[in-house]
Amino acid sequence: MIDIAIMGHGVVGSGVAEIIYNHSKRVSEKAKEDIRIKYILDLRDFEGLPYSDKFTKDFNKIVNDPDVKIVVEVMGGCTFAYDYVKACLLAGKSVCTSNKELVAAKGAELLDIALEKNVNFLFEASVGGGTPVLRPMAQCLTANEITEVTGILNGTTNFILTKMIEDNMSFEDALKLAQDLGYAEKDPTADIEGHDACRKICILASLGFGKHVYPEQVKTEGITNVSLDDVEYANGFGCVIKLVGRTRKLDNGKITANVYPALVSKDHMLSGVSDVFNAIMVRGDEVGDVMFYGRGAGKFPTASAVVGDVIDCAKHLASRKYLHWNEGEADYVASSDNDIARFYVRLKTNDSNKTVKEIESKFSNTSYIVNADKDEVAMLTENDIEITLKNQIGSLDSCEVIKTFHVID
């Protein structure tokens, strides 16, 4: 019998409790031990549940109870969650969390404490919801040097973009629909401005490359600048627009890490990832590209990943698991200026013939779409050094650059 505590009884927390209660036989069989919820920490009261007697408002009960071996943190945020998780690890308890904000900000520190205390700190649910990605990266791909991770990491923005692409819905209407369906928060900032995707690419980069990447090191651009016109131009170029997080290892030991809207070629597997689904493409030097795809959020998908971690902890109470990375460094994340890139550029022009001529003279192998109705030209560059392309784009003088997005093909 292993006693656990769940801190937080929101969407994911209630899902964790329900899975453990409703499927106790399955969970115990997999863990080879009975798993019992001893406490659920929440400031609110929840009456009439089969486990209403487990609720407590007192964190000290949990941290001071030597019977509690595993603590689930599903409160979210980085203040109380950080203090409580740290205290639990220091008290020799393993912790499982779905809290990407916490892991992205404090992962290295908490993993160090876990290592020191010989307990586990697991967070499979923090990236991709129920989609397995962190454990396979750390375990199955371990013979590889990871060189790149590119993912559609946020279900809310992917839903909005899918509605724009497939139903020609405006950004505002699609956001409203996402809110009505419960996919987007009342304050959607963290999703649409890319902060959520940023946290996830931090976790993926930290795990993939072994050194902590902090959210403030990641240049992050959301989708508020994506319009239906861009969606249409993208379609003309055989692409769809997706919000991607991307991190790459450079030859000099540094990495790049970015979140931005990008035109993804319809030939690329990531282009087929629609609605609230997520997908993470991992490149290894031996294996090439592998992709993990599934629901990026939702009560039971996410909760099932947390319970998977709990089961793993239960089976490894005596022996540490594999997850670890080192503290980050101030200059570890480099600008992507010297990386290879390809751009979509949207140009306003009074003289499209002249602009087309200028494009053809300054770029090789571009494709472009002339939109006479709007006095616009949209173009795709070829692949080149990012700063070279940016300089070329900056040198265009027959037109005004309206926007520039990366292209992934």
Binding residues for a copy of itself, rule: CB under 8 A, are: 19, 23, 26-27, 30, 124, 130-132, 135-136, 139-145, 269, 271-273, 284, 286-295, 298, 300-301, 303-308, 310-312, 315, 319, 322
Count of C-beta atoms within a 10 Å radius of residue 118? 12
Question: Is beta strand 255-265 parallel, antiparallel or unpaired with respect to 219-220?
Answer: parallel
Q: Could you tell me the smallest distance in angstroms from the CB atom of residue 131 to a copy of itself?
A: 5
User: Is 357 labeled as catalytic in the residue annotation?
Assistant: no
Nearest-CA neighbor of 16 among 213, 302, 208?
Answer: 302
CB closer to a copy of itself out of 177 and 317: 317
CB closer to a copy of itself out of 280 and 389: 280
Q: Could you tell me the smallest distance in angstroms from the CB atom of residue 134 to a copy of itself?
A: 9
Gap between the terminal Cα atoms of the chain: 51
Count of C-beta atoms within a 10 Å radius of residue 330? 7
Catalytic residue among 93, 106, 200, 242: 200
CA distance 359 to 23: 62
Kindly state the tokens that stand for 15.
């899902």
Phi, psi of 97, rounded to the nearest 5 degrees:
-140, 155
Q: Could you tell me the smallest distance in angstroms from the CB atom of residue 25 to a copy of itself?
A: 11
Q: Could you tell me the smallest distance in angstroms from the CB atom of residue 400 to a copy of itself?
A: 37
Kindly state the tokens that stand for 75.
């409160």
Q: What is the DSSP letter of 145?
A: P
Which amino acid is located at 265 in the chain?
S
CB 203 within 8 A of CB 219: no
CB closer to a copy of itself out of 319 and 395: 319
- What is the per-residue burial (b if ≥16 Cβ within 10 Å, else e) of 38-58? bbbbbeeeeeeeeeeebbbee
Q: What is the dihedral of CA 289, 195, 304, 44, to 10 degrees?
A: 170
Q: Could you tell me the smallest distance in angstroms from the CB atom of residue 87 to a copy of itself?
A: 26
CB closer to a copy of itself out of 304 and 336: 304
CB closer to a copy of itself out of 119 and 306: 306
Tell me which residues are annotated as active site.
200
